[in-house]
Structure 1
Amino acid sequence: MSTALIILAAGKGTRMSSDLPKVLHPIAQAPMLAHTMMTGRALEPDHTIVVAGHEAEAVRSAVEDIDEQATVVLQTEQLGTAHAVDQARAVLKDYDGDVVVLYGDTPFLQADTIERMIAARTSADLVILGFEAADPARYGRLLMDGDSLERIVEFKDASDEEREITFCNSGLLACDAKLLFDLISKVGNANASSEYYLTDVVELARAEGRRVTAVACDESETLGVNSRADLARADAVFQSRARAELLELGVTLMAPETVYLSLDTIIGRDTVIEPNVVFGPGVTVESGALIRAFSHLEGCHVSRGAKVGPYARLRPGAELAENTHVGNFVEIKNAEIAEGAKVNHLTYVGDASVGKKTNIGAGTITCNYDGVMKHHTEIGANAFIGSNTLLVAPVKVGDDAMTASGAVITKDVEDGALAIARAPQVSKPGRARKLMDLLRAKKKKRGEDAS
């Protein structure tokens, strides 16, 4: 069945106490809107329409980053959920298919739940998504007669008997596009808030003799985010689920509760993750790798058998080939580390390529930035870079070449050569004692003068 998605993302989110639109606050280092859009993308919809309002340009920019094919429409005044959906009318005016309405601040809805809503459309004109609430609180209640939804009763309007109902309204629905917009055109705003509520379409559909039903999902899928506390809880829910999924897939998490994952983190089976590792956006770790404690990875690719950390930082553009070693207090940025190469201690490798089985000594720095431009360092295969070497880019060190410890390399080093670039050592017999005696005498005199 042809499907279009309308995602409501126009609200300011006053309780967030933020200048950032609510739907752009991050869960697992991605805007919560991205979670909803990625779930929807699994359905391969004909259209994805995001309704923006508060800070619309920021929302538009985020949407473009998430899905270039999505359309953003503007709700200039926030006049209720039905009014928000109606902003997509022009985009879908000739559309012959179903519309599913989602919310940008409800990030945990699952694709199979949406599929069940769409499937239910084969026997119903309008499908509402409901859930059994552990604490119904002030949710709207769904009044069912068998599998027919009779009406939605808001808490404030419900009788004592109706308030005992635990099947509650999530606000999400599926409906034929033409019917939905026809129903919305009949929604009024004669209520305390003078807003056009999407839930009113249920009563309007019933009045026309349309069949309305409800599909149930787990309450956790309907978790909405309205405050910083909600945001923290949502992130915790994501992390718990993502860790459990990794464990199920055969990844070892030595202390699962200390590992922080991003929405798009990919980790292969038989990889071991030690405690207190952070995965930023854009990380792929292949099978059989070892990520040691207190490492931070972002925008990088780690191949099979690689060892990273402890206390390593992989920044965007870091590419680690198979069986590489990146050790403690090493930072890799926009650099390729070839198979079997080792960068084990206290080193920065940025804007560089390191050849197969090359060893980078402790304290090595690729000096890649001149204050204006970034420059590339190329290190060949089987090279040995001595400890505390400074490689002033652009520069090339050839295959099987070596640099002496403490060298400052400013010129290319040919294959097989040893480069020594440091001032010669000069020893002055007895000079250390004389210097220390002089300094002590000066210190003593200063103390006497002060007194």
Structure 2
Amino acid sequence: MSDNPVALIVLAAGQGSRMQSDLPKVLHRLGGVPLVGHALAAGRAVEPERIVVVAGHGADAVKKAVGKLDPEAAIALQEEQLGTGHAVQQALPLLDGFEGRVIVLYGDTPFIGEDTLLELAAHSADVVVLGFEAADPGRYGRLVTGPEGLERIVEFKDADEATRAIRLVNSGVLAADAALLRALLPKVGNANAAGEYYLTDIPALARAEGRSVQVVTCHEAETLGINTREELAAAEAAFQSRARARALEDGVTLTDPSTVWFALDTYIGRDAIIGQNVVFGPDVTVESGAEILPFCHLEGCHVSSGATVGPFARLRPGAELGGDVHVGNFVEIKNSVLDEGVKVGHLTYLGDAHIGEATNIGAGTVTCNYDGVGKHRTEIGANAFIGSDTMLVAPVRVGARAMTGSGSVITEDVPDDALAIGRARQVTKPGLATRLMQALRQKKGQ
């Protein structure tokens, strides 16, 4: 990568009316995260000194989402959507003092490759336009090149037949020297049918001042923009196909690859085994040698080496599974740490808890962590045994090597090595069941 500092401007102001949605287009999800998150993630490859996201339609929602995706990104507001050139102008004040290369990306174009961005960042030309050889050039703007590089960008409606035959087309992505952008953007006019200021005017203005203008090319798939629900679905299919192929190449076993769904930041170590119909939400790490059995949903969690999860388990944000932990069917874990060797076989909810190593959690155990106002912690020591159908009413602590009797409601701390039983004494009434059923049937007239 070049030593020249880099800044990113991500255009995310459009409404996306063709999506038929009240949600800003860049907030529709792909691979478990908003579209704009893909542009931000790709942009990290160039180690940008500054990032500016230009918001417009639904700016508050975009600002909130970007804040979660990249807290260091600044937000520029484009109150009126007057074109791409106008959008970049709104971003420039937030780059005051920055001297280096600016790369302009689009929040609805999720597949720009890291290698492509690195090439844009390192290029020596004053202005670099990203183009691609289109299978069907259609109504794309054509890139007319010559011995000295890019001569001009010609919009389809303005092109003659010879120019329309050119297959090298404009992606819209552009990289330029920051000082040059500041100088040229005020010269961009809006004498066009839409009355908008277009970033595509920059190369011609730069050429007129004797600056070097070049083209970098990428594969057409990198430039796929999302404008409709159908295109979003196609992009999701493409993303999942790539994610599955990458996992297989990295040494992950996918029992039935087409049924496994990944998020943008899913990390799975080699020799992990992933069963069919497993869904990964954002922020999941599965270490080498772990196994996720079929029909599990994981989000915001960490699964250590040797652990097994499922089938039919759900790991929610904050779930941390230590080595050789076993989480069985119909178990839900949220904001809880399970130390090495813990076993949670089935039909259990653990929330806001810490479970010590080698502890066994019986079927039907529930940490009652929410009182209607606040969440409370449950602490269980190492080598404890929690009997089936135990209700642990937080805040509560069960000590190391302690036990709870099946069917207990535990409302007080249990010391180390103690047995706690919190249930009503059983009373047996001989013959009462038969007499009761007879009385009920007589009342009903049977």
| Same-fold status (TM-score > 0.5) | yes
Distance of 1:418 and 1:277 partners within structure 2: 38
Deviation at 1:63, TM superposition (A): 2.1
Distance of 2:58 and 2:374 partners within structure 1: 34
Cα deviation, 1:290-342, whole Å, max 9, x if unaligned, reads 10111111111111100000000111111111001000001111111111110
Alignment partner, residue 18 of structure 1:
21
CA distance 1:86–1:359, shift in 2 (3 Å): same
Distance of 1:91 and 1:180 partners within structure 2: 13
Distance of 1:56 and 1:129 partners within structure 2: 27
Q: Contact (CA 8 Å) 1:147, 1:214: kept in 2 or not?
A: no
Q: Per the alignment, in what secondary structure is the counterpart of residue 195 of structure 1?
A: coil
Cα deviation, 1:261-314, whole Å, max 9, x if unaligned, reads 111111111110001111111211111001011111111111110000000011
Distance of 2:121 and 2:422 partners within structure 1: 71
Which of 56, 64, 74 is the aligned partner of 2:67?
Answer: 64
Are positions 1:3 and 2:3 aligned together?
no
Alignment partner, residue 335 of structure 1:
336
Residue 392 of structure 2 aligns to which amino acid in structure 1?
A: L
The ranges of structure 1 where at least 4 consecutive aligned residues each deviate by more than 6 angstroms after the TM superposition are none
Alignment partner, residue 392 of structure 2:
391
Cα deviation, 1:176-221, whole Å, max 9, x if unaligned, reads 1122232222211111111111111222222233322111001111
Q: Per the alignment, in what secondary structure is the counterpart of residue 185 of structure 1?
A: helix
Residue 5 of structure 2 aligns to which amino acid in structure 1?
A: S
Distance of 1:94 and 1:384 partners within structure 2: 62
Alignment partner, residue 263 of structure 1:
264
Of stretches 54-63 and 12-21 in structure 1, the one that deviates more from structure 2 is 54-63
Cα deviation, 1:17-64, whole Å, max 9, x if unaligned, reads 122211111111111111111211221122211111112222222222
CA distance 1:218–1:413, shift in 2 (3 Å): same
Residue 66 of structure 2 aligns to which amino acid in structure 1?
A: V
Residue 272 of structure 2 aligns to which amino acid in structure 1?
A: T
Distance of 1:335 and 1:146 partners within structure 2: 63
Deviation at 1:147, TM superposition (A): 5.9
Which of 108, 111, 114 is the aligned partner of 1:108?
Answer: 111
Superposed, which structure 2 residues align to 1:315-330 within 5 Å? 315-330=316-331
> TM-score scaled by structure 2?
0.96
Alignment partner, residue 38 of structure 1:
41
Residue 267 of structure 2 aligns to which amino acid in structure 1?
A: I
CA distance 1:432–1:175, shift in 2 (3 Å): same
Superposed, which structure 2 residues align to 1:243-254 within 5 Å? 243-254=244-255
Superposed, which structure 2 residues align to 1:180-329 within 5 Å? 180-329=181-330
Residue 95 of structure 2 aligns to which amino acid in structure 1?
A: L
Distance of 2:11 and 2:421 partners within structure 1: 64
Alignment partner, residue 76 of structure 2:
73
Distance of 2:267 and 2:253 partners within structure 1: 14
Residue 252 of structure 1 aligns to which amino acid in structure 2?
A: T
Alignment partner, residue 48 of structure 1:
51
Alignment partner, residue 429 of structure 2:
428
Distance of 1:383 and 1:365 partners within structure 2: 15
Long gaps (5+) in structure 1: 446-451
CA distance 1:329–1:87, shift in 2 (3 Å): same
Q: Contact (CA 8 Å) 2:45, 2:118: kept in 1 or not?
A: no
Alignment partner, residue 373 of structure 1:
374
Alignment partner, residue 146 of structure 2:
145
Long gaps (5+) in structure 2: none
CA RMSD across the alignment: 1.5
Are positions 1:441 and 2:445 aligned together?
no
> TM-score scaled by structure 1?
0.95
